[in-house]
């Protein structure tokens, strides 16, 4: 789905498909260098990180393993609840592994800060975080992020895996959802 298919549902296009791909390539070069000599386990956070994971993993020119977790997020609301529940756990034993969490967006930081502690408690050798988007003005807990794509304003965004009530995940770009859609 392209921006032109749902133009009236967006107030603004924040990041184009080309900009996303260029940024993921840049981050991939950093990750290749930082993880040299080890095979990282990429942990994608369902469902929002599906597109980031698919494109980022293919940018990497080295072997990786891939696994997925699903944790509770907002449902159909646009505000962070701070409640984190595991809906789907990893299939992989991560003891001794170098883990790279792949996330779509850091809003309050609550989800990632919980997830990092959870994975560290399982005996991972290292746990790093890659997030395509971050809203610096919304951060409630400080979570060190190793790889960041873009800092964005504290608006509710959709596209490239990010949904509103399960819609817009297949939008190629990232845009700000118009209030008339959710009010």
Out of 43, 53, 130, 157, the only residue in the binding site for ligand 5GP (CB under 6 A) is 157
Out of 74, 98, 118, 120, the only residue in the binding site for ligand 5GP (CB under 6 A) is 74
Q: Burial level of 87, CB count in 10 A (0-12/13-18/19+)?
A: exposed
Out of 55, 73, 127, 173, the only residue in the binding site for ligand 5GP (CB under 6 A) is 73
CB of 32: closest distance to ligand 5GP in angstroms? Answer: 25
Q: For residue 102, state whether it binds ligand 5GP (rule: CB under 6 A).
A: no
Q: For residue 150, state whether it binds ligand 5GP (rule: CB under 6 A).
A: no
CA–CA distance, 59 with 179 (Å, rounded to integer): 35
- Toward ligand 5GP, which CB reaches closer, 36 or 166? 166
CA–CA distance, 64 with 43 (Å, rounded to integer): 10
Q: Which stretch binds ligand 5GP (CB under 6 A): 20-28, 55-63, 94-102, 106-114?
A: 106-114
Counts of helices then strands in the chain (DSSP H, E): 4, 9
Q: Pick the catalytic residue: 107, 142, 146, 163?
A: 107
Q: What is the DSSP string of 67-127?
A: EEEEE---TT-SS------EEE--SS--TT-EEEEEEEEESSSHHHHHHHHHHHTTT-SEE
Distances in Å between the alpha carbon of 44 and those of 5, 55, 70?
Answer: 28, 12, 8
- Toward ligand 5GP, which CB reaches closer, 62 or 141? 141
CB of 83: closest distance to ligand 5GP in angstroms? Answer: 10
Question: Does the annotation mark 107 as catalytic?
Answer: yes
CA–CA distance, 46 with 68 (Å, rounded to integer): 7
Out of 31, 156, 160, 171, the only residue in the binding site for ligand 5GP (CB under 6 A) is 156
On whether the CB atoms of residues 80 and 108 are closer than 8 A, the answer is yes
Q: For residue 162, state whether it binds ligand 5GP (rule: CB under 6 A).
A: yes
CA–CA distance, 132 with 4 (Å, rounded to integer): 23
- Toward ligand 5GP, which CB reaches closer, 62 or 165? 165
Which residues of this protein are in contact with ligand 5GP, per CB under 6 A? 48, 73-74, 80, 103-111, 156-158, 162-164
Catalytically active residues, by annotation:
107
């Amino acid at each position: 789905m392209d921006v032109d298919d749902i133009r009236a549902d967006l107030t603004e296009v924040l990041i184009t498909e080309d900009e996303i791909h260029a940024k993921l390539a840049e981050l991939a070069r950093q990750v290749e260098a930082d993880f040299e000599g080890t095979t990282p386990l990429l942990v994608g956070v369902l469902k929002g990180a599906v597109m980031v994971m698919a494109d980022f993993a293919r940018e990497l020119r080295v072997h990786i393993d891939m696994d997925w977790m699903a944790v509770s997020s907002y449902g159909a609301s646009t505000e962070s609840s701070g409640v984190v529940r595991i809906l789907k756990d990893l299939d992989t034993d991560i003891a001794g592994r170098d883990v790279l969490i792949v996330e779509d967006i850091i809003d309050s930081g609550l989800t990632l800060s919980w997830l990092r502690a959870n994975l560290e408690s399982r005996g991972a050798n290292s746990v790093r975080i890659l997030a395509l988007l971050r809203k610096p003005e919304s951060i409630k807990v400080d979570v060190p992020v190793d790889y960041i794509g873009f800092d964005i304003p504290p608006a509710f965004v959709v596209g490239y895996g990010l949904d509103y009530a399960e819609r817009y995940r297949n939008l190629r770009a990232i845009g700000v959802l118009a209030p008339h859609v959710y009010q």
